[in-house]
Amino acid sequence: MHRKWFRGLLAVLLLGASAASAMGTAESSVEFRDLWVRATVPGQPVAGAYGAIKSGTRLALVAVTSPVARRCEIHQMKTEGGMMRMRAVKELPMGAGKVVELAPGGLHLMLLDLDKPLTAGATVPFTFTFRRKSGDTFQQTVTAVVRDAGPEH
């Protein structure tokens, strides 16, 4: 009788551990919406990337890489003293359930030292590195579409 009880308890504990592990994995996922990169002209060494990012838990975006550029940076555009200024941001805090908009004239990604021009219709892979509240990091790879965009975008 004790063996059956022990096996039942063990099954419940293992099932609970499995569910907790699955929840931890689900918390690590981040949603990306409408991620796109502005097309470039020959000789243009930089491009901007835009879209929306949402996480179910509190995280910080700490790094972005792409094989099409030597460097990717998170940038913030702000008006200071009547002038628009762009500055690199070390990390981008993300609140639980909050959407972070990456848009021209605000927060965005910069691809620096491009390997070649980016033409409309092409795709660009990105690897995003996030840091959890606990301090550990995880990565998520997504693909963005290159598109022509006028000044209004």
pLDDT higher than 60, residue 19: no
Q: Are 21 and 43 in contact (CB under 8 A)?
A: no
Q: Are 38 and 47 in contact (CB under 8 A)?
A: yes
pLDDT digits (tens, 9 = 90+) for 7-18: 443 343 333 433
Query: In the Cβ-directed half-sphere of 36, how many Cα atoms lie within 13 Å?
Result: 14
| Neighbour-count burial for 53-63, b at 16+ CB within 10 Å, e otherwise | bbbebebbbeb
Neighbours of 86 (CB within 10 A): 13
Least confident among 26-40, 67-81, 113-127: 26-40
pTM of the predicted model as reported, rounded to 2 decimal places: 0.77
* 98-139: pLDDT as tens digits: 999 999 999 999 999 999 999 999 999 999 999 999 999 999
